[in-house]
């Protein structure tokens, strides 16, 4: 949903209505009607209108969402609000997701990096841990900014690029930052999908998800389990997979799940046994959803039952 109040204000200042704007710029009545309906205009049309009015395209509209969490996240992110739900989720999601994968940074250090772009260290910490913390903040932003777009392979690869670029691994040509793996990998003693088959398996997974008229939390957990069994990237699969699940929940208006680092043993058990028994991962993710629901309640953000 797009709110064109900024455009309407500009038009009132010129004593011009939408129809008049369309005639002046040669824009079809069908396109102009999208403004009243709150539908998305193409970048080309927005740039033409903005050029005519002498403003930036972003001054013409504001993107609105029926999902209260997504709407608040976008508002607080845009305004740079400190201490709100956007601030808290950035820290909590980033700390727990990175710590599950072995990051040495504490939650306090993660919070300090987000709040001040500095870090207080009493011991040696991997530079990659710091970089991937900052990158994870940006990956969450990417999910918020693109929550209403289709889930594609390019979107998933971009999450991987955001997370892993500039790290030590990115200097290895075969590591393929932002692309599928080129070498086999094993997780928990189990073989994952061979590199030659990854693109095909990911295509099947995305096609399955795309056929769902409306995904529910169990569909999202199933996607996560299958994604992690494919393990499409050389490294960073766990973090990318949890970011995808966060994006999917935002897109569907579902309370996201937050896997607390203290529950990682149960989480890993669920992933390792996904093909044989789905209930373990499902229960862990639903527990993580309860954790997130409590955070949302503390910030008085209403989310309906899925």
Per-residue pLDDT tens for 80-131? 999 999 999 999 999 999 999 999 999 999 999 999 998 877 777 889 999 9
Catalytic, 231? Answer yes
Can you list the alpha helix ranges (DSSP code H) found in the chain? 5-13, 18-25, 29-37, 43-53, 68-79, 85-100, 107-116, 127-145, 153-164, 195-210, 217-230, 237-252, 264-272, 279-298
Superfamily of domain 68-299: Fido-like domain (1.10.3290.10)
CATH number belonging to domain 2-63: 1.10.260.40
Domain range summary for the chain, segments of one domain joined by +: 2-63, 68-299
Per-residue pLDDT tens for 55-87? 998 888 877 788 999 999 999 998 999 999 999
C-alpha triplet 291, 294, 298: angle, nearest 5°: 145
Instruction: Give dist(CA 193, CA 253) in Å, integer.
Output: 31
pLDDT range class, residue 305, cuts 50, 70, 90: low
Q: Select from 156, 167, 161 the least CA-distant residue to 241.
A: 156
Full-model pTM: 0.85
Tokens standing for 100?
A: 């599950």
Per-residue pLDDT tens for 226-282? 999 999 999 999 999 999 999 999 999 999 999 999 999 999 999 999 999 999 999
């Amino acid at each position: 949903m797009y709110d064109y109040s900024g455009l309407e204000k500009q038009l009132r200042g010129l004593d011009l209505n939408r129809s008049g704007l369309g005639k002046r710029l040669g824009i079809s009545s069908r396109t102009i009607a999208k403004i009243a309906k709150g539908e998305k205009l193409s970048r080309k049309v927005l740039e033409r209108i903005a050029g005519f009015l002498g403003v930036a395209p972003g001054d013409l509209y504001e993107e609105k969402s029926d999902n209260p969490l997504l709407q608040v996240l976008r508002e607080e992110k845009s305004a740079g609000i400190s201490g709100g739900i956007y601030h808290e989720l950035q820290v909590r999601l980033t700390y727990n997701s990175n710590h599950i994968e072995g990051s040495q940074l504490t939650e306090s250090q993660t919070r300090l990096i987000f709040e001040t772009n500095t870090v207080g260290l009493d011991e040696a910490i991997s530079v990659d841990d710091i970089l991937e913390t900052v990158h994870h903040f940006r990956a969450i932003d990417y999910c918020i900014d693109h929550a209403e777009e289709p889930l594609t392979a390019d979107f998933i690869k971009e999450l991987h690029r955001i997370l892993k670029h500039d790290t030590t691994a990115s200097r290895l040509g075969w590591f393929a930052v932002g692309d599928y793996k080129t070498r086999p990998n094993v997780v928990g003693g189990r073989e994952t999908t061979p590199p030659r088959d990854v693109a095909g398996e990911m295509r099947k997974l995305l096609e399955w998800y795309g056929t769902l008229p409306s995904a529910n939390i169990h569909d999202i957990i199933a996607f996560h389990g299958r994604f992690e069994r494919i393990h499409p990237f050389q490294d960073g699969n766990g973090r990318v997979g949890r970011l995808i699940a966060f994006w999917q929940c935002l897109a569907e208006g579902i309370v996201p799940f937050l896997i607390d680092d203290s529950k990682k043993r149960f989480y890993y058990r669920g992933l390792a046994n996904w093909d044989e028994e789905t209930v373990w991962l499902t229960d862990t993710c639903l527990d993580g959803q309860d954790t997130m629901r409590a955070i949302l309640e503390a910030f008085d953000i209403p989310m309906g039952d899925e």
